[in-house]
Amino acid sequence: MIKTSDIERPSMEFLKDLSGISSATASGELKRLGITNPHILGPIARTPGKKIVGPAITLQFMPKREDLTSSTEAIDQKNAEYNDPEKQLHRHALYHTQPGDIVVVDARGDLSSGVFGEMMLTYFKGRGGLGVVIDGCIRDFPMVQKLGLGLWLRGVTPNFHTQTNIFPFAVNVPVSCGNVLVIPGDIIVADDDGAVVIPINLAPQLLKKATDHSEWEDFSRMKLAEGGDLRKYYPLTDEARSEYENWRK
Amino acid sequence: MIKTSDIERPSMEFLKDLSGISSATASGELKRLGITNPHILGPIARTPGKKIVGPAITLQFMPKREDLTSSTEAIDQKNAEYNDPEKQLHRHALYHTQPGDIVVVDARGDLSSGVFGEMMLTYFKGRGGLGVVIDGCIRDFPMVQKLGLGLWLRGVTPNFHTQTNIFPFAVNVPVSCGNVLVIPGDIIVADDDGAVVIPINLAPQLLKKATDHSEWEDFSRMKLAEGGDLRKYYPLTDEARSEYENWRK
Amino acid sequence: MIKTSDIERPSMEFLKDLSGISSATASGELKRLGITNPHILGPIARTPGKKIVGPAITLQFMPKREDLTSSTEAIDQKNAEYNDPEKQLHRHALYHTQPGDIVVVDARGDLSSGVFGEMMLTYFKGRGGLGVVIDGCIRDFPMVQKLGLGLWLRGVTPNFHTQTNIFPFAVNVPVSCGNVLVIPGDIIVADDDGAVVIPINLAPQLLKKATDHSEWEDFSRMKLAEGGDLRKYYPLTDEARSEYENWRK
Amino acid sequence: MIKTSDIERPSMEFLKDLSGISSATASGELKRLGITNPHILGPIARTPGKKIVGPAITLQFMPKREDLTSSTEAIDQKNAEYNDPEKQLHRHALYHTQPGDIVVVDARGDLSSGVFGEMMLTYFKGRGGLGVVIDGCIRDFPMVQKLGLGLWLRGVTPNFHTQTNIFPFAVNVPVSCGNVLVIPGDIIVADDDGAVVIPINLAPQLLKKATDHSEWEDFSRMKLAEGGDLRKYYPLTDEARSEYENWRK
Amino acid sequence: MIKTSDIERPSMEFLKDLSGISSATASGELKRLGITNPHILGPIARTPGKKIVGPAITLQFMPKREDLTSSTEAIDQKNAEYNDPEKQLHRHALYHTQPGDIVVVDARGDLSSGVFGEMMLTYFKGRGGLGVVIDGCIRDFPMVQKLGLGLWLRGVTPNFHTQTNIFPFAVNVPVSCGNVLVIPGDIIVADDDGAVVIPINLAPQLLKKATDHSEWEDFSRMKLAEGGDLRKYYPLTDEARSEYENWRK
Amino acid sequence: MIKTSDIERPSMEFLKDLSGISSATASGELKRLGITNPHILGPIARTPGKKIVGPAITLQFMPKREDLTSSTEAIDQKNAEYNDPEKQLHRHALYHTQPGDIVVVDARGDLSSGVFGEMMLTYFKGRGGLGVVIDGCIRDFPMVQKLGLGLWLRGVTPNFHTQTNIFPFAVNVPVSCGNVLVIPGDIIVADDDGAVVIPINLAPQLLKKATDHSEWEDFSRMKLAEGGDLRKYYPLTDEARSEYENWRK
């Protein structure tokens, strides 16, 4: 029987604190903490307006190799999708789902294979999953977009996943997704700007830094919207800062 | 005078029966019938939520070659688009339109040429056309998206089609569109997952298979949405199957 | 102190006259004036339904070279984004903003750097800017899409612009954007079909030609929508033309 | 039994006259005759120093579709390559070979399929074939490079042609090879600069123009190699022309 | 201290028997054994004429992530390449070298990082290594090409490997190289056609099949080179077979 | 009359001192001086074994725009290449040639235009030019490869430069070549690993650092070639260092 590792999850409180941070803020602060580029490039927001924050379950695909995909070899060609489903590792990734989880899939940028379909994602949603970030595709998008999950995808396809050139190879191992290394249990922040990986050990520092920012930015934003001078209000000059202090009162 | 072949069309009844099938179901069943990959990769849904099923009129573009595109040579440079329009084969593709038809265009993935504009597509709609699948672009998208056609496109452009590097070369010949071979008269199923080609000879078998599926899937979907176990409900175990039988009553 | 050139702007009247022209009409007429391909390929409409017309302020990025980006070298690594902001040329591009302006950015097609974020674009909007055409990305898209600007972009990203491989190099110089040469002060027309560059010297001729077109096209469109014959109504045959003359009365 | 068309060939005298022309000269003169770009982009010289001129036999590949590649369906999986070889159209292309012929293959840029191997190309050489231009690959390159044929290829591969995603679909039909339209019987000129297509009807004009050029260029070349002024010697100024007239004597 | 796994190697006799097989033969026979595509696509022969056969040591690169590449963080910026070299896993891959070994590197197709340089490869050669297959680059090509190793590379570069975006992550784990899954200890056959992966368990079967082939092919080749009929000699018809039997005596 | 700037050149002595440095050494030392990536990616060595070092004359191409390329508009279509050649800026780049110069061309990666042909490069060679680095193509490669110049090119083509989509726009301005910023007068080092840009101000420091290296490396190389331990000899351990000191005597 197949047995895959689970991930360690931070406390719900901690995740709640992080949930106010945008992917842009996370990326900016991570830069200051030494991470040049935490952006998962390729998968884009397919559920506009959605924003999710949570720990990453990872799933890794590899190029198909017929001597290793034994579940494929043994199967009844007429009914391939359902035969021996317990050998299909992409199912095992979902078995780990706990409320608030996010599944990150290295599907090798493949545009011909649907990693998950409606049934799998309905199950994921039923278990409390928040969303998926896939360097590849899902299928059944007409129905899946209504499930309420957040979806960051390279594309969509009508094909299912055993149809073409890749197969699920490992669960909860380090993966490269969109040219970023993701360790199982890292925090994902995803919104309309894209998905960002926060290394779990840097998350507390990031949280602290990110909250300093926002107050004076509200003032600057207001001033700039009124036609205020960028040189004065962003960043705040000394003069603008005292204006800000007054406004704040 | 230019004369191009028409296609053979299945009965309206048959098309109506097929119209319940999604592109994902069609792709899955075709896999079981031996077709590895029927998905037209590249053109994506530009009219979200639209779904169309119908026979394919095909149009093939080729790289421009000035000694062959004689309509181009002869023209008055000041009024290029309208001169001798009857020599332009993309018009002839549309002349074949009957209610329920879909036009499939191999525009070579070109992103600099608009294959059809508002006028052409208004005519196509007026004749009962359902939609177009183009491995390339249309122009006049601001207006065309309001016509009610289904549009699967690689992109949109303000350029017209004689502007750059390709020209319409043949109508109702076998074409490669999005890396799938399409024979004139094949059935196209297109929705938000993309467009799929059903070889006309496999369409009856596919129809039969596709209808078996859906009943027990409704039950599974319901259970999974409630947090039910994927191992039990998808596919149905024996235990789940008897639950299903009860529920069905 | 850094000093960059401003652009010459046409009169507001002239811009208003041009504002009725679509990018498709502009592209078609420019073809007749000898310009093969004025379409900025790559940046696509991210604010569907928006249409803008205005003069181009240009901004050029170059590959990062650490000996030249001295503002980067000198900075306090903890607070990189704000240190010595006046050396950052992308700010200077915005300082030139006057009501009706459009900023065109050659960001080298880079998908890892956000050229502008919410604060910059709030300032730009506050100064009367209409929109941006960027062969690259912005950040803060969740907020920026609500500002009311027109956005033609290759993508969006959570990263800021000094984060990766490019840096702002020059303002109001000739740039290549989406494989089209843009001279500062050229007119940009952008809508859902994409963005087109009108060389400023050709703008008066284009304006004259473009207005001839539209009247008989309304008649043709109506006829085609009713199922009229393309051969008769587009372009108008002599017979159709007299129908048109009657209809017009 | 499969029957494919043959091509019309120009006289051997005519081909001999053309054989002095380089691909660069052909491309330059074709530009003057109105053909913008006759260069087959993609396939590059794999037999450096080779130059060939001859008429084109064409072979077209299409994306594999299992219901159509009946030779594939019927085959004994253990011995796929040899079963029913007469149904494989790439063999039929070679059956047309006459001394001096060149085979041009639209293999769709595919890098995973070897269109021809050593045996096929040994036969082609035995029949007097000059070389091949393939927008795709051959296999058995270790041996094939010793056959004395000219080879312009996108790549080489150890795979054979039925191994992956394409199959031979038609012989001696118009094809797009490296983004140039090739009509069966057109003349190919290929050397280290690449392969150029001369439309057969333009070949006589091209031949005439190309021979004018070369005499004064020899003089210019000599002068430039000695450090002569480009402004004076290329093209020849009046002063340089009289120098040339003297030198010629 | 870092400790990485070694591979299991087949006997030298077995490798010697395999050494007569070309990559094309290996690919063809693997197809018959059920492996669709064993060709490592991307790395090409940089040492023309070389052929190697041997077991694969694997090395995996991942996208750089500054919190994990601690050897990088700690280093003296002035002397980065040499500091704490024992933490650099690409060195550990080479420590496993035994005579006849081949190193296979998943360098993610990166063209900006030199995975190995002259010193590393001199050591590898000194230890009896046969060659490398890298989906990426080496540096010091001017000297390395003289070492006598076989080199299959995507490119060459003057940069060293810590210079850009990837870092060595694991040794002797399953890797994807050129879109083929390679398990440590699999057999690599590489020549001018490219590099092929033979799953170790299929190697004995492949060896047996591959030797059947070649005898009658020598006869066919001879006949075809003399202008013999492809239909008769490849594959051999019954008539040709008896010719062959006679010739063989 | 067109007048373009010349570059400043370092002394011949200085260039001679630099000439012993390989591109790999230059890249490594530049990294230590703060330049992450000085490698011009794209153009590769087309004259294997050649190595050149010298100051950069730069030439910039831009996308063709018919209203600006007036030299093109005015020309006699029958004789386009020679008409008004003095307006063609690629000629002006070569007019600046002094012995030891290298021309660096941003040809936008274009593969359809030959930037220089035999005549131009014969002149360049006659004037003492060392070689060219072009992010694009030359034509007349059959003859040009014999001139003795060093050539780093993205490709070769039979087309001439006004044939397609780009035109020469500026001489001796900052350019991006192969994704590296080159300032006129920077030093280029190019060999079989590729071409590297040394910012002129960093050249003296680089020269000093690069010469330290090489002595002990000769000893290491010898030891490693004999099967010596990488851990001991590269870099040198203390033990190995005293071996080295002895060997040196």
Q: Choosing among F30, F61, F67, which should be mutated to test the C contact, i.e. which has the most C CBs within 10 A?
A: F67
User: In this complex, does chain B touch chain E, defined as having at least 3 beta-carbon pairs under 8 Å apart?
Assistant: no
- Where are the alpha helices (H) located in A12-140, listed in sequence order? 12-18, 23-32, 70-74, 89-95, 118-126
Contact B192, A145 (CB under 8 A): yes
Residue contact F228–E114, C-beta within 8 A:
no
Window from A10-24, B3-17, E83-97, F68-82 with minimum mean pLDDT: F68-82
DSSP 3-state of F175:
strand
Residue C72 has pLDDT above 50, yes or no: no
Contact C183, C176 (CB under 8 A): no
Pick the closest to residue E54 from E206, E205, E197, E211 (CA basis): E197
Q: How far is CA C153 from CA A25, B159, C168, C187, D131, in A?
A: 21, 18, 17, 18, 46
- Taking any CB pair shorter than 8 Å as contact, residues of chain F touching chain C are 34-36, 62-68, 73, 108, 165, 169, 174, 176, 179-181, 183, 199, 201-202
Q: In chain C, pLDDT over 90 holds for what percent of residues?
A: 82
Question: HSE of C137 in the Cβ direction (CA atoms, 13 Å)?
Answer: 27
Kindly state the average pLDDT of the residues A39-63.
98
Please enumerate in sequence order all residues whose Cβ is within 8 A of that of D34, keeping only pairs 6 or more positions apart, or say none: B66, B67, B73
F139: nearest CB among D193, D233, D234: D193
Amino acid type, B119: M
Kindly state the average pLDDT of the residues E77-83.
48
Longest distance between any two alpha carbons in chain C, whole Å: 76
Window from A19-23, B12-16, C86-90, F118-122 with minimum mean pLDDT: C86-90
Q: Give the C-alpha separation, C112 to C98, whole Å.
A: 29
Question: ∠ CA A174-A180-A186 to the nearest 5 degrees?
Answer: 55
Q: What is the pLDDT of residues B177-232, one digit of tens each?
A: 999 999 999 999 999 999 999 999 999 999 988 776 677 889 999 999 999 999 99
Per DSSP (E only), the strands in chain C are: 39-40, 44-45, 52-63, 102-106, 131-138, 150-156, 166-171, 175-177, 180-182, 187-191, 194-198
Please enumerate in sequence order all residues whose Cβ is within 8 A of that of F124, keeping only pairs 6 or more positions apart, or say none: F94, F97, F103, F116, F132, F149
Residue D70 has pLDDT above 60, yes or no: no
Residue A78 has pLDDT above 60, yes or no: no
User: In this complex, does chain D touch chain E, defined as having at least 3 beta-carbon pairs under 8 Å apart?
Assistant: yes
Q: Would you state the pLDDT for residue F76?
A: 40
Q: Would you state the pLDDT for residue C161?
A: 78
Question: ∠ CA D242-D245-D249 to the nearest 5 degrees?
Answer: 145
Residue B46 has pLDDT above 50, yes or no: yes
Assess whether the previous peptide bond of C142 is cis (omega < 30° from 0): no
Q: Would you state the pLDDT for residue E9?
A: 98
Which residue in the block uniquely carries the two structure tokens 């098309």?
B15
Q: Would you state the pLDDT for residue F182?
A: 98
Q: In chain A, pLDDT over 90 holds for what percent of residues?
A: 82
Residue F82 has pLDDT above 60, yes or no: no
Is the entire prediction scored with pTM above 0.90?
Answer: yes
Chain A nearest-CA distance from B124, in A, is 26
Contact D17, D207 (CB under 8 A): yes
Q: Would you state the pLDDT for residue D77?
A: 43
User: What's chain D's length in residues?
Assistant: 249
Q: What is the pLDDT of residues D147-204, one digit of tens each?
A: 999 999 999 999 997 777 899 999 999 999 999 999 999 999 999 999 999 999 999 9
Assess whether the previous peptide bond of E235 is cis (omega < 30° from 0): yes
Question: What is the count of residue pairs from E and F with beta carbons less than 8 Å apart?
Answer: 97
Q: For residues E154 and D218, which has the higher predicted lDDT (pLDDT)?
A: E154
Kindly state the average pLDDT of the residues A55-75.
78
Q: Classify strands E131-138 and E150-156 as parallel, antiparallel or unpaired.
A: parallel
Crossing angle of helices A23-32 and A203-225, in 10° steps, is 120
Assess whether the previous peptide bond of D174 is cis (omega < 30° from 0): no
D119: nearest CB among E27, E192, E234: E234
Q: Choosing among A30, A31, A65, which should be mutated to test the E contact, i.e. which has the most E CBs within 10 A?
A: A65
Contact C49, C192 (CB under 8 A): yes
Q: What is the pLDDT of residues B130-170, one digit of tens each?
A: 999 999 999 999 999 999 999 999 999 999 977 778 999 99
Residue D79 has pLDDT above 60, yes or no: no
Q: B194: which chain A residues are within 8 Å (Cβ-Cβ)?
A: 156-158
- Where are the alpha helices (H) located in E117-173, listed in sequence order? 118-126, 141-144
Q: Rounded mean pLDDT of chain F?
A: 92
Q: Would you state the pLDDT for residue B163?
A: 77
Q: Would you state the pLDDT for residue F83?
A: 60
Q: For residues B206 and E80, which has the higher predicted lDDT (pLDDT)?
A: B206
Q: Give the C-alpha separation, B128 to D34, whole Å.
A: 41
Q: Classify strands E194-198 and F102-106 as parallel, antiparallel or unpaired.
A: unpaired
Residue B40: what are its φ and ψ, rounded to 5°?
A: -75, 100
Q: Would you state the pLDDT for residue B209?
A: 83
Q: Choosing among E65, E110, E162, E167, which should be mutated to test the A contact, i.e. which has the most A CBs within 10 A?
A: E65
Chain B nearest-CA distance from D172, in A, is 15
Q: Would you state the pLDDT for residue C16?
A: 96
Residue E79 has pLDDT above 50, yes or no: no
Q: Choosing among A46, A127, A141, which should be mutated to test the B contact, i.e. which has the most B CBs within 10 A?
A: A141
Question: Residues of B71-110 as b/e, b for ≥16 C-beta within 10 angstroms?
Answer: bbeebeeeebbebeeebbbbbbbbbbbeebbbbbbbbbbb
Pick the closest to residue A75 from A64, A62, A88 (CA basis): A88
The ipTM estimated for the assembled molecules is 0.92
D123: nearest CB among E27, E32, E230: E230
The token pair at C101 is: 């302006």
User: In this complex, does chain A touch chain F, defined as having at least 3 beta-carbon pairs under 8 Å apart?
Assistant: no
Residue E55 has pLDDT above 80, yes or no: yes
Q: Would you state the pLDDT for residue B213?
A: 66
Chain B nearest-CA distance from C72, in A, is 38
DSSP 3-state of F107:
coil
Q: What is the pLDDT of residues C34-71, one digit of tens each?
A: 999 999 999 999 999 999 999 999 999 999 999 987 44
DSSP 3-state of C53:
strand
Residue A45 has pLDDT above 60, yes or no: yes
Q: Give the C-alpha separation, A185 to A171, whole Å.
A: 12
Crossing angle of helices F23-32 and F203-225, in 10° steps, is 120
User: What's chain A's length in residues?
Assistant: 249
Window from A79-93, B90-104, E73-87, F29-43 with minimum mean pLDDT: E73-87
Residue contact B193–A140, C-beta within 8 A:
yes
Per DSSP (E only), the strands in D157-216 are: 166-171, 175-177, 180-182, 187-191, 194-198
Which residue in the block uniquely carries the two structure tokens 């330290």?
F212
Q: A174: which chain E residues are within 8 Å (Cβ-Cβ)?
A: 62, 169
Q: What is the dihedral of CA E68, E74, E79, E81, to 10 degrees?
A: -30
Q: For residues B248 and E151, which has the higher predicted lDDT (pLDDT)?
A: E151
Q: How far is CA C148 from CA B199, C51, C132, in A?
A: 47, 11, 12
Q: Give the C-alpha separation, E6 to B95, whole Å.
A: 68
Kindly state the average pLDDT of the residues A219-233.
95
Pick the closest to residue D120 from E24, E192, E242 (CA basis): E24
Q: Classify strands B52-63 and B166-171 as parallel, antiparallel or unpaired.
A: antiparallel
Q: Would you state the pLDDT for residue F140?
A: 97
**What is the number of other CB atoms lying within 10 angstroms of the CB of residue D80?**
17
Q: Give the C-alpha separation, B159 to B151, whole Å.
A: 18
Residue contact E158–F44, C-beta within 8 A:
no
The token pair at E22 is: 């070309």
Q: What is the pLDDT of residues F147-170, one digit of tens each?
A: 999 999 999 999 997 777 899 999
E24: nearest CB among D78, D126, D158: D158
DSSP 3-state of A182:
strand
Per-position DSSP letters for B144-204, written without gaps between them: HTTS--EEEEEEE-SS-GGGSSEEEEEESS-EEETTEEE-TT-EEEEETTEEEEE-GGGHH
Q: Would you state the pLDDT for residue D21?
A: 95
Q: Would you state the pLDDT for residue F211?
A: 75
Q: Would you state the pLDDT for residue C78?
A: 39
Q: C30: which chain F residues are within 8 Å (Cβ-Cβ)?
A: none
Contact D188, F86 (CB under 8 A): no
The token pair at B145 is: 């998206």
**What is the number of other CB atoms lying within 10 angstroms of the CB of residue B197?**
28
The token pair at D123 is: 């036969």
Per-position DSSP letters for A52-77, written without gaps between them: EEEEEEEEEEEE--TTT-HHHHHS-G
Q: What is the pLDDT of residues D101-152, one digit of tens each?
A: 999 999 999 999 999 999 999 999 999 999 999 999 999 999 999 999 999 9
Contact B32, B38 (CB under 8 A): no
Q: How far is CA B236 from CA A119, B215, B242, F8, F120, in A?
A: 12, 12, 9, 79, 75
Helix (H) or strand (E) holding F94: helix F89-95
Q: Is the dihedral of CA F135, F137, F142, F144 positive or negative?
A: negative
Residue C73 has pLDDT above 50, yes or no: no
Contact A23, A44 (CB under 8 A): no
- What is the 8-class DSSP label of residue B37? -
Q: What is the pLDDT of residues F1-55, one digit of tens each?
A: 789 999 999 999 999 999 999 999 999 999 999 999 999 999 999 999 999 999 9
Contact A50, A187 (CB under 8 A): no
Compare all CA atoms of chain D with the CA of B174 and give the residue at the minimum distance. Answer: D62
Residue F77: what are its φ and ψ, rounded to 5°?
A: -60, -25
A65: nearest CB among E62, E108, E181: E181
